[in-house]
Amino acid sequence: MNIVVIGTGYVGLVTGACLAEMGLDVTCVDKDKEKIAGLNQGRIPIYEPGLESIVAENAKAGRLSFVTSLDQAEKTEDTVFFIAVGTPPDGDGSADLSHVLAVAQEIGENIDHYSVIVNKSTVPVGTAEKVKNAIQVEIEKRNKEVKFDVASNPEFLKEGAAVTDFMRPNRVVIGTDSERARVILHEIYAPFTRNHERTIYMGVREAELTKYAANAMLATKISFMNEISALCDKMGVDVESIRLGIGADSRIGYSYIYPGCGYGGSCLPKDVRALIQTAKEYGFQPKVLCAVEDRNNSQKHILFRKITKKYGDDLNGLRFGVWGLVFKPGTDDMRDAPSVVLLEALIAAGATVLAYDPVATEEAKRMFPVNWFNHGHLFLVGDQYDALIDVDAIILVTEWKPFRRPDFNKMHGKKVVEF
């Protein structure tokens, strides 16, 4: 058995490296030539603790290789293809499946032996069927008869703890109706669940929906707590006491109940939106999910609202320090991050921003408009205390550890207002 992982991003690279770490031969494919050239020279394109060393060790051992197209990957009997490409939101919020289906087409053009195709990308119910059809069409175009199965194996890793999550999953969900695919996938994941069985087998459609339901549940907890926090603000109640008081209940737990400035990242926002869209396609109005999204969209403006409450709507001539740009500590991912909404609002209101993030300076340079830098609206500084120089307020956005206990001596003398 050999493994081909298509899409070498946060999920694909971690999947490929961790499977290789357990002794499998893995080829990672990505159409991004620069990314693959970098990986072949030992450069990791993302910030993910623990990833660099396992990529380096497995590449050195010859178990992990990187190529730019599927036809360069070795394919034998029982090759397992993991699809791990992006499923970004379409205009209406539904998942854009064009990358997944392009990969399916490519697999159909390339397989000559029985293969298992595993959807690791987060995809709506019914996608496995579309993948199967796309592969079959290509096989028939070549006048071949090749057997294959399509399974769903959604990924639950957390950015910032992705390697640990993959190596020690709290569950592995496998959706398949094929006994042959089930046995192969069981063999692949057995080393990860040796301590005790944590694999949950189900139907393909059930597995597809499980991923969305999991992310929607997490988003619901966050939005619920943000709503309680907004209510606390109105009533002059300390939300931290509420968090401790409810988290102690094991039915609720302490995870995902910190109030904040809204959930971001590449998963929760897009997956909640996509699930809402799927529900609507089935003629169902998902009231809770719509409220969760609504609360989050408004929560992303909370820090800006606090600023304008104090300084008014016109921020011309004011300077603000921003600590943290990524959507959560431990990653360099800024997709859908609350910091983006905040910076857009501050700069539109005329403010100057000095921003510091421990790992995302390069990502921020890539993401923010070049005229913000050219016209002096945004300065990315290399030290957290440089973000305080002559500022009117410091805004803490991402709870990176160095911000938890700042050096107040270094902050002393700077013109800073705390919120």
- Applying CB under 6 A, what is the total number of residues that bind ligand NAD? 26
Rg (CA), the chain: 23
Could you tell me the smallest distance in angstroms from the CB atom of residue 69 to ligand NAD? 8
With CA atoms as reference, report the closest residue to 376 among 301, 335, 317, 305: 317
Question: Within 10 A of 367 (CB to CB), how many other CB atoms are there?
Answer: 15
Token reading at 242: 């509420």
12 interacts with ligand NAD by CB under 6 A:
yes
Q: Provide the pairing of β-strand 199-202 with 172-175.
A: parallel
Q: Which one among 3, 4, 9, 64 touches ligand NAD, defined by CB under 6 A? A: 9
Give the integer Cα–Cα distance in Å for 169 and 77. 28
122 interacts with ligand NAD by CB under 6 A:
yes
- Rounded to 5 degrees, φ, ψ at 327 are -75, -20
Give the integer Cα–Cα distance in Å for 230 and 218. 19
Give the integer Cα–Cα distance in Å for 298 and 312. 19
124 interacts with ligand NAD by CB under 6 A:
no
360 interacts with ligand NAD by CB under 6 A:
no
Is 28 a residue of the active site?
no
Place of tokens 């998942």: 95
Q: Which one among 3, 20, 24, 29 touches ligand NAD, defined by CB under 6 A? A: 29
Q: Which one among 21, 30, 293, 392 touches ligand NAD, defined by CB under 6 A? A: 30
121 interacts with ligand NAD by CB under 6 A:
yes
- C-alpha distances in Å from residue 417, one per residue of 232, 319, 352: 22, 12, 16
Could you tell me the smallest distance in angstroms from the CB atom of residue 306 to ligand NAD? 29
Print the binding letters for residues 260-299 with ligand NAD: x by CB under 6 A, - otherwise. Answer: ------xx--------------------------------
Q: Which one among 44, 102, 214, 381 touches ligand NAD, defined by CB under 6 A? A: 102
Q: Which one among 4, 39, 84, 340 touches ligand NAD, defined by CB under 6 A? A: 84
Cβ(5)–Cβ(26) below 8 Å? yes
Binding site for ligand NAD (CB under 6 A): 6-12, 29-32, 35, 84-87, 99, 102-103, 121-122, 155, 157, 159, 266-267
